Amino acid sequence: MRSGVSSADGSDVEGTAPGRRPLQGPTGTRAIAPLGSGLYLLLGRLRRDGLVTTTWHESPSGPPRRYYQLTTEGQRALALFTTEWDRFTDAVDRLLRQGDST
């Protein structure tokens, strides 16, 4: 595995903690995800479950790169997860606010 940090196109990213890669979200937001086998195990599972498709693209330097795209089913799963995540974070926020008032 390559050490350091790179962007989705493989170029180095400055200002990012080692072992993390910035990811571009669907709304243009950026998130940081861990590099390494854990991420690739998750992506493989998403592919097997039909939630993402993959394509290979030649790279001007280094090996070919695999690109991932959400399927229609993946978009539905993401929408459901986002709704559940919002409910969860709202509940945690309410608990934290209650703790601040005591």
What pLDDT digit, counting tens, does each position of 25-64 carry? 555 555 555 556 788 889 999 999 999 999 999 989 999 9
In a domain, 5, yes or no: no
In a domain, 17, yes or no: no
Number of domains in the chain: 1
pLDDT at 27: 59
What pLDDT digit, counting tens, does each position of 62-77 carry? 999 999 999 999 999 9
Residue 70's domain spans which residues?
36-100
In a domain, 1, yes or no: no
Burial environment of residue 63 by CB neighbours within 10 A (0 to 12, 13 to 18, 19 or more)? exposed
Residue 30: strand, helix, or coil: strand
Top pLDDT among 78 and 28 is at 78
Q: What is the CATH number of the domain that holds 43?
A: 1.10.10.10
pLDDT at 54: 94
In a domain, 9, yes or no: no
In a domain, 66, yes or no: yes
In a domain, 29, yes or no: no
pLDDT at 100: 75
